[in-house]
Amino acid sequence: MKKIVGILLLLFTLSGCTTLDFPSSSGLENNSFTPTDNKLVAHFIDVGQGDASFIELPNKKTMIIDAGESYESDVVISYIEELGYDYIDYVIATHPHTDHIGGLADVLDTFDVDSIYMPKALSTSKTYENLLNTIDKHGYKVKTGKKGVEIVNEDDLKIDIVAPCQDSYSNLNNYSIVLKITYGEVSFLYTGDAEITSLKEITDDISADVLKVGHHGSNTSTSKEFLDLVKPSYAIISVGKNNRYDHPNSSTIKLLEEYTDKIYRTDISGNIVVTSDGQNIEVEVEK
Ligand SMILES: [Zn+2]
């Protein structure tokens, strides 16, 4: 049995800042800031209807998975700057939809990055072209994100891409990079907007304590069969208030209630921060 402790701290202040336990931004000035020792801190940033995740890894590296719509980039950038970082080691653009990659061009213009992973999907959208042009401008190379790619493989820390498994899909959502992070006994599964078509193809072990729920809680991304494999304790849904897609779907919420101990939603809780020492899990919310 995994030892899991869920601690809910109400951090909402008048300014909306989440300051408790967060590293001071003074590190930016003296450049001596290093990430929290031996902790993995997974931030689910509230960007309205969209996805933006930032992860402080226990190996002192950092990862961003999507950055919301382009008009949300300031929110994402100042959030990361407030944590004290001026670099991001791994950038994951799950798939070319604007609510995921929109903010990434500004992120690349702000932070130094090491590796960028994207699926081999085609899109002619202006936002996607802008991102590719920005990547070019900085001289970065894109690594293809697909099943079998290992991003980190250390004793205690593994980050694996488990989908997409095929080279082409009719629905752009199914190109989404699905990624599993395992730190000690604790694991996280990030699913982008991958739908059941893609999720069904996964052959890796996708059991995870924390599930970043697919496609903002749409019923096209969460099934009983999938949850039987993941067996999550916590579900995180990144979703905008009163969105026009009616996300999250009420049947998805019902299923998640059946399978998980607790569901967190950015439209209700604002920023959500999950911290783990490799054994225990703590959850803090902004409001
Ligand atoms: Zn989306």
The long-range contacts involving 24-29, CB below 8 angstroms and separated by at least 24 positions, are 24/84, 25/81, 25/82, 25/83, 25/84, 26/84, 27/84, 28/81, 28/84, 28/86
The pLDDT of residue 30: 40
CA of 192 relative to ligand 1 center, distance in Å: 7
Domain spans, the chain: 8-285
The pLDDT of residue 34: 52
CA of 169 relative to ligand 1 center, distance in Å: 16
The pLDDT of residue 35: 56
The pLDDT of residue 37: 73
Residue 43 DSSP SS3: strand
CA of 96 relative to ligand 1 center, distance in Å: 9
On the question of pLDDT at 180 being above 50, the answer is: yes
Which residues, including other chains, have CB under 8 Å from residue 129's CB and lie 6 or more apart?
none
The pLDDT of residue 5: 45
Which top CATH class is 8-285?
Answer: alpha beta
Q: What is the pTM of this model?
A: 0.88
CA of 60 relative to ligand 1 center, distance in Å: 29
CA of 273 relative to ligand 1 center, distance in Å: 20
The pLDDT of residue 86: 96
| Least confidently predicted of 18-32, 53-67, 174-188 | 18-32
Average pLDDT in the chain = 90
CA of 37 relative to ligand 1 center, distance in Å: 32
CA of 101 relative to ligand 1 center, distance in Å: 9
CA of 124 relative to ligand 1 center, distance in Å: 17
Which tens digits make up the pLDDT trace of 82-94?
999 999 999 999 9
Residue 243 DSSP SS3: coil
Q: DSSP assignment, residue 218?
A: -
Which tens digits make up the pLDDT trace of 17-36?
333 343 333 333 444 455 56
Mean pLDDT to the nearest integer, 255-282: 97
On the question of pLDDT at 261 being above 50, the answer is: yes
DSSP conformation letters of 164-204: --SS--SSGGGG--EEEEEETTEEEEE-TT--HHHHTT--S
Amino acid at 60: K
What share of the chain has pLDDT > 70, as a percent? 87
CA of 50 relative to ligand 1 center, distance in Å: 5
Strand pairing class (142-144; 150-153): unpaired
Distance CA 95, CA 122 (A): 9
Amino acid at 8: L
CA of 173 relative to ligand 1 center, distance in Å: 8
